[in-house]
A and B are shown apart, each in its own frame.
Chain A
């Protein structure tokens, strides 16, 4: 509680407390979220996000040693008009200024986004997270999956870009050589940070009271047996991505084939040139001038590797989700079998 009473002097003060030395993998080992933030995110999606793509918002909080504490959040309006950019910055500034008046932590520590069946690995996310992490080292992006939550248990994950990926984004070097140098694989793009949910004692009291007063029956969505709908949609998305991936692979293959063909042509040309020059010398004529070979054979453009990486990361995510889902369902099916066994 003591940390909350201090109000930092300037809102743009850089965060202290990243521990010195490069021994830690990342400056943030754990994320502590308040119940209020969770409720606000749920509410935001529920009210504004039905059907549309994603809802986004900003996370506020502070950094304590190696933990990132998220104490409040506010939602962002949807992108309705084209000139919403200027409005966004202004909206954000106003909101943070107002929140400062009521003693809410106004330090930006990250942002949150809702996702549809787990598809969030995209260029836009990467860029946003990079700009956040560049400005504030400890920032995270919270991905809230409302559909999975509606199925029974809160699905909230926190991601950061790995330092390797940060380097690459900084250099803006997305070519194959760049990625090879950094030895980045799709598994090393994002790192997940464990989340802990904490409530103050007053909120705990509130929870007790609510439980007492509220007679809404416990929802047992988690034990629901019907699965095909969810599975179908997930597999559909997975198939789309895999199609993208295969297209990408075809592109890369054509590129390497073109490259090697061109190399061959270059060699042949140089050899012919040398032969001709040798013949001319024997005949006593002046050798032909050396032409700039590279200008004649322009090397083909290598395809960008970043998209492949993103697609691979997304496919990986889908597969993880599907596996989680199937393991849960298998458990449920066996339970149903036990129940039937008793009956018959």
Chain B
């Protein structure tokens, strides 16, 4: 059996057949984590991908690693384990099915073909995801492939892995979680305290301010002639400025005051309640 490994120039101009692969960040983090925990001597990790299949896309939402042994001439995958884990996962989320498998590393090897065959027994058209955790090319290179038969029927038959386009999909809350994680990576040793209320608003406002500053520098550049004006950007800018609603000063005052009053009243009530229960407790204990 021959294999076809993916080369750079072919990829950029190749059209993509097959479904779009949408990956959730939790899958990638999981793969990275299992790579870090691999056994001594193993150069790569493999595992199963779980998710849902749509008409035109495959959404990968979960994964688990499967122990395997790989040597020069043979590869052994613990299939019992894979089946077991899938059953357990199914109990929690019954809608997830096996959609493919992943492997860390840079290339698709011959062993991958064998493993891929095994997975095609479990799922129709499995997806093969690779992630270069050893950063051989300086980047992580997250890619997905679909296998296709190639060759002359009857004579030499081979398997070709065709690349698929990979997109990342986030739930809203996942997006917020990722934002938080991104902030921790900026400070080298951790941290992050999940900051308290007003600080968060301050932080968000700071970020908006940064973005406004970038826009302002662009505008100044255009005005002083350093950059040519772009019409579409100009239209966006107009939208931006018009987004602040035009309300008469008195109306705005009344709205603002009533909102502030509401909030203050609620704060007062909650403080009162807290004092009340504290008092109640003291009296009872007496």
Contact = CB atoms under 8 A, between A and B. Distances in A.
Interface of A: 1, 4, 32, 34-36, 38-40, 42-48, 71-72, 75-77, 87, 91, 94-95, 98, 101-104, 146, 149-150, 152-156, 176, 179-180, 183, 185-186, 194-200, 202-211, 213-214, 216, 218-223, 227-228, 231, 235, 238, 242, 245, 249, 252, 305, 308, 312, 315-316, 318-319, 322-333, 335-337, 339-340, 343-344
Given A98-B81, A152-B204, A235 B192 contact: no
Contacts of A216: 168, 170, 175
B181 to A, nearest CB: 4
Contacts, number: 252
Given A156-B194, A245-B280, A344-B248, 19 more contacts: A32-B190, A34-B33, A35-B181, A43-B26, A45-B173, A76-B92, A98-B88, A101-B67, A149-B173, A153-B200, A176-B284, A206-B32, A209-B142, A210-B28, A227-B263, A238-B270, A323-B271, A324-B196, A333-B259
Nearest to A308: B284
Contact of B26 (A36, A95, A194, A228): A36
Contacts of B277: 186, 245, 312, 315-316
A336 B260 CA distance: 12
Contacts of B181: 35, 38-39, 197, 199, 203, 207
B24 A43 contact: yes
B201 interface: yes
Contacts of B172: 150, 219, 221
Interface residues of B, number: 90
Interface in B259-281: 259-260, 262-264, 266-267, 270-271, 273-274, 277-278, 280-281
A150 B252 contact: no
B244 interface: yes
B32 A102 contact: no
B160 interface: no
Contacts of B62: 43
Contact of B246 (A104, A329, A343): A343
Contacts of A336: 256
A220 B37 contact: no
B11 interface: no
- Tell me whether chain B's interface is mostly helix, strand or loop, or mixed: helix
Interface in B196-240: 196-198, 200-202, 204-205, 207-208
Contact of A328 (B198, B246, B247): B198
Nearest to B180: A154
Contacts of A38: 177, 180-181
Contact of B281 (A185, A323, A344): A185
Given A95-B88, A335-B205, A330 B32 contact: no
15 contacts: A35-B177, A36-B30, A42-B177, A43-B61, A43-B174, A45-B173, A46-B174, A94-B84, A98-B81, A98-B85, A149-B177, A152-B200, A219-B172, A231-B266, A308-B284
Interface string B31-70: 0111111110000000000000000000001101111000
Contacts of B174: 39, 42-43, 46
Nearest to A331: B201
Interface stretch (B111-119, B121-129, B132-140, B148-156): B132-140
A223 B201 contact: yes
A44 to B, nearest CB: 8
Closest CB pairs A-B (n = 8) = A319-B270, A39-B26, A103-B37, A204-B185, A222-B204, A77-B91, A198-B190, A326-B263
B200 A222 contact: yes
B79 interface: no
Nearest to B247: A340
Contacts of A91: 88, 91
B92 A75 contact: yes
A35 B95 CA distance: 25
Contacts of A150: 172-173, 176
Contacts of B248: 344
A240 to B, nearest CB: 13
Contact of A339 (B38, B81, B244, B266): B244
Contacts of B92: 44, 48, 75-77
Contacts of B192: 196-197
Contacts of B35: 202
A185 B35 CA distance: 47
Nearest to A78: B92
